[in-house]
Chains A and B, each alone.
Chain A
Amino acid sequence: MAYMHIGKDFVPPDVVGKVTGRIKYSEDYSRDGMVYARLLTSPVPHGRVINIDASEALAMEGVFGILTADDVYPDGEPQSPGLKVLTNEPTLIGEPILAIAAIDEKTAETAMTKISLTIERLPFVLDPLDSLVEGGPDAYNGGNTYIFREGFAQEKWTTDQVASFRSGNEPTAEAQQGWAYGDLEAGFAASDFIHETTFSTAGYPHMSMEPRSAMAYWENGKCYLHGTSQSLSAIAEPMAAIVGVPLEDFVFINEATGGGFGQRARAGSIPSMAIPAKLSQKINRPVMMRVTREEEFTIGGARQGLQGWIKVGFKSDGTMAAMDMYCISDNGGKGGGGDANSAAGGVSALYQTEAMRFRNSSIGTNTAHRGAQRGPGENQIMAIMAPIMDKAAEALGLDRLEIRKLNAAQNGDVSGSRSTPFTSAYMPEALEQGAAQFDWEGKKSRARQTNGSKVRGFGIGQGYHNAGRSGMDGIVRLMPSGRLAVHNGIGNLGTYSYASTSRAAAEVLKMRWEDCDVITGRTDRHLPITSPQDGSNSIFTNTRTCFGAAQDLLVKMKEIAAMDLGGDAADYEIDGSRIYQQADSSVGMTYAEVAQRGIELGGKFSGEDELPEDLNRLTQLSVSRLAGSALMGVYHDPRHNNNPPGFTVTFTEIELDKETGKIEILDLVSIAECGTVVHPQGLANQLRGGAVWGIGLSVLERHLYDPQNGLPASTGYWQSKIPTYLDTPANIGTGWVDLPDPENPVGARGIGEPAMGAVSAALNAAITDALGGHLFDTAPVTTDMIINHIAGVSEDAVPLAQNNFRG
């Protein structure tokens, strides 16, 4: 289909602000009379605050007040997992206990040294298996796990059960949750190749470039919060609730966000933003809370680590007949995260296994709080699965590409515990396109060739994430100037989807992009509710709402034209600046004229009544504040059917130095299968960025804790190494299948997360290939593991170790 805007590059409105430094992040704001907050954080990994004596600090000149958990939770802290704003029951080092406000940060820091904090040390634990074992410490007050709707609980295995698991055997304890489909026993019985192993993947921090600083002030009873979030309108209501202010009196300002990757999507993952808001309310001054890199590590979240066991069976033709998976997921210091379940769902989606069983228990540790991080679960497990696919191919005498095509998701396929159909799926096409672009057939014979100490390895990876939601709202306004205002509540995370999805409205109205304004950046610009910008959903979800709101506007434009110029609404056509009769194009009105008439007519035309049912409360509030200002299109999106997948495939060639363990990526090509391409440059950026993240997961990133005191040892970029220019290839090839999805009006689905998983999978497969088929069954595979393997030394001093070195 020929589009004006969909599939075309454009200059997003904020990119000039990014290259000139003019766009503002939360810490770039200031306010007359602004004072500064600093945090006093927990010095112990698990403790209970007995007493806080701040009298000496509060008596200091220039100190304005403190905020404690007792201020935030006068009725007691909620006994549930998740970060608190402030706490008297810290379960990780660095958790904020109180904030102090002073004339400047030096005074605040000095005042903090004068606070007497009495804290009771409690037992702590860093590895889920050390907590699971009978008599082992519990991370939380009340147990080592949290059971939904039941509360904190204690789960223990016998010493033998834990030892057996660490030794590589299937866990025998009953799991907390699980699901299954198909006949697992029959699947394994029909298998000609079965691979069984334990595996582990590491936790590591998000480390967004922008620390989560926030500034707040109150004016005429309203709270204005300059914060940082992946989402914008989705944050408003839950954050207002955390601050304790009615939604209509809360303004969230967030023009740009310096990275999120899952940990700034929802209010519950960034409750620290409420600290300056509540402190400002208490001391009646604007408060800036600047967050340091160390604090960002502590409260900025981390990926869940997984300790697991899998058994997978393949028939002689390469079909994956059965998959059995048991995971222990590391819930960290504050609980949260569904990585294991997503990992299992990802395997089901990507490999279409005929029978599957999944079991999982989530266990807490006194380490970084966990939550969603780019492709949570799916991306870790793909790094484990890709080498297994290659081992199966080798054992069954199949080509590595063919075994993937054989098991690939196609239109009509289903996945997951509920056997949900895909909205559309073209994984075989993606594999073929990737193989052609990479020249798989031409290159694969070079596998395992050596050049001195270096050996070549090739890998194919696949990534998946559910990539679309619905049920949100849209608002567009045709202004008396003739310009279109598209109100978009997606956050500005760097994907540019706040702008690219808005172009669906311009498409409907055939308007030039130059005649459109994207209204975003702060909630008092009156935004519709939008899904949190996570889970690769924005392109799918918000093209639906923007498209729908523009269609509502178009219907109203035609009604007005028919009312004023005669005939039926169906007689009218648009050209981007005029609405006119199809039979006689001289009979018509400009967009500016029809907008003015909409205001004059009022009622449903200007958002004053006949609004869609089921509009979200935030949308209702926004529409009520915009009513009468323009001809308005308002839309509530109904639910879509089935599962819109985002797929990526990656082909890579590496050179592994057997003397140093260093890996160099010689070639890397990623192909997206995400429906119709909306914004090619944005998509290429997601593929490239996803590749860099995949490299991090596969060979670099892990966080470490001191086992004696529970101290985090990797609070900076150096210690928790993220990929740099020199760790990534100088060129990353990209491409896309570009076939439309039927559940989206422009055919689009999301891509951000699978773009990473495919690369982590391909890279781990390439390392295995270079080492002659050795499976590490872990991520990351670091240089020390490679060197140990080559030297014939055990790779694991502590098998399945979490939050520490394995070797």
Chain B
Amino acid sequence: MNPKLSRRRFIKGVIASGAAATSTTIWYAANGAERPAGAVERLIRINVNGQTRSVDVAPQETLASTLRYKLGLTGTKLGCNRGECGACTVLVDDTPSYACSVLTHSVKSMRIETVEGLESANGDLHPVQQAFVEELSPQCGYCTPGQVMAAVGLLRINPNPTREEVRQGLAGNICRCGSYDSYLNGVMRAAQIG
């Protein structure tokens, strides 16, 4: 995980915003309309999938909430909303990050990539997506966007990983269907497709 986006920094940010530091409260408060007195500017610009988007962001709002409920990018899934499962994994400056545990205000100067941004302009799937289709890596599919983004992030820094390196690289992404072996096959195939 990007040290700039550590869980510690996230929690500090939440506390600084005046919100109670419980996971459920964070989630629901994230959608609130109130602006606490003295809070940071809410209308910010963030770079998502190569586009600059203006969005009204509450001080304690998580990146997952902004993506899903403000920008309509529902490919980013919330499985636990507390940094346990990895379903909400996106890339922040190329680093796989749990969007449920990142405050949107903390990444406004960074590049954010979600699963919706991977396809090429002509509709071709990203090699990881294509490989996951060919290997039938997903089962229920709920963790798949997170697995895809973790794999894309890994392959950017390690284009030819060993199977063990992929296993370690994706270890932060849970799959309750147990499709790990099929995802590993997919990432190894993606590395070949390049």
Which residues of A are at the interface with B, using a C-beta cutoff of 8 A? Answer: 9, 11-12, 14-25, 27-28, 36, 38, 103-109, 207-211, 256-261, 292-294, 493-496, 681-682, 684-685, 688-693, 716-718, 722-726, 728-732
A496 adjacent to B176 (CB under 8 Å): no
Query: Contacting B74 at CB < 8 Å: which of A18, A24, A107, A726?
Result: A24
Contact indicator A728/B31 (Cβ below 8 Å): no
Give chain A nearest CB distance to B183 CB in angstroms.
8
- Assess the A20–B75 pair: CB atoms within 8 A: yes
Contacts of A722 in B (CB 8 A): 174, 176
Choose one: A19, A494, A717; the contact of B84 (CB below 8 Å). A717
User: Nearest-CB distance from B26 to chain A (Å)?
Assistant: 11
With A209-B176, A210-B77, A724-B174 already in contact, the answer to whether A20 and B115 are too (CB < 8 A) is yes
B182 within 8 A of A: yes
**Which among B6-14, B40-48, B132-140 touches the partner chain?**
B132-140
| Contact status of A725 and B115, CB under 8 A, knowing A15-B133, A19-B148, A104-B31 | no
Residue on B with the closest CB to A209? B142
Q: Which residues of B lie under 8 Å from residue A689 when comparing CB positions?
A: 139, 177-179
Report whether A716 and B84 are in contact in the complex, using a CB–CB cutoff of 8 Å: yes
Q: Digit string of B153-194 for contact with A (CB within 8 Å is 1, else 0)?
A: 000000000011001101101111111111010000000000
Interface 0/1 of B32-68, CB less than 8 Å to A: 1110000000000000000000000000000000001
| Complex Cα gap A691–B177 (Å) | 10
Cβ–Cβ contact B179 & A688, under 8 A: yes
Question: Is B25 in the interface zone, CB < 8 Å from A?
Answer: yes
- Chain B min CB distance to A491 (Å): 10
Closest 5 CB pairs of A and B: A21-B75, A692-B178, A258-B142, A18-B141, A494-B140
Known: A210-B142, A494-B139. A16 touches B80 (CB 8 A): no
- Which of A109, A259, A684, A718 is in CB contact (< 8 Å) with B142? A259
Identify the closest chain B residue to A9 (Cβ). Answer: B136
A495 vs B179: C-alpha distance when bound (angstroms): 11
Say whether B82 contacts A293, CB under 8 Å.
Answer: yes
Given the complex, which residues of A lie within 8 Å of B82, measured CB to CB?
A: 293, 716
Q: Is B143 at the interface (CB under 8 A from chain A)?
A: yes
Q: Are B181 and A688 in contact (CB under 8 A)?
A: yes
A748 to B69, CA, bound (A): 44
Is residue B95 within 8 Å, beta carbon to beta carbon, of the partner chain? Answer: no
- Once the chains bind, are B178 and A494 in contact (CB under 8 Å)? no
The chain B residues found within 8 Å of chain A, CB to CB, are 24-25, 27-29, 31-34, 68, 73-82, 84-85, 87, 114-116, 118-119, 125, 128-129, 132-133, 135-145, 148, 163-164, 167-168, 170-171, 173-182, 184
Complex CA distance for A292 and B82, rounded to whole angstroms? 10
A15-B133, A689-B139, A724-B174 known; A21-B87 Cβ under 8 A: no
**Cα distance A726–B174 when bound, in Å?**
10
Q: Cβ of A688 and Cβ of B178 under 8 Å apart? A: yes
Interface centre among B27, B116, B118, B144 (most CB of A within 10 A): B144
Interchain CB contact under 8 A, A261 and B176: yes
Q: Say whether A494 contacts B141, CB under 8 Å.
A: yes
- Provide the residues of chain B in CB contact with A259, threshold 8 Å: 140, 142, 176-177
A109 touches B28 (CB 8 A): yes
| Cβ contact within 8 Å between A728 and B181 | yes
Chain B, Cβ-Cβ closest to A18:
B141
Q: Given A207-B176, A682-B136, A717-B174, is A19 in contact with B144 using a C-beta cutoff of 8 Å?
A: yes
B31 touches A106 (CB 8 A): yes
Residues of A near B174 (CB, < 8 A) are: 209, 717, 722, 724
Can you spell out 16 A-B residue pairs with CB atoms less than 8 angstroms apart?
A12-B136, A16-B125, A16-B129, A19-B125, A20-B118, A21-B73, A21-B74, A22-B75, A28-B74, A209-B176, A259-B142, A493-B140, A722-B176, A723-B178, A730-B164, A730-B184
Kindly list chain A residues whose C-beta atoms are within 8 Å of the C-beta of B184. Answer: 725, 730
- Contacting pair B125 A21 (CB below 8 A): no
Distance between Cα atoms of A38 and B25 in the complex (Å) = 12
CB closest chain-B residue, reference A210: B142
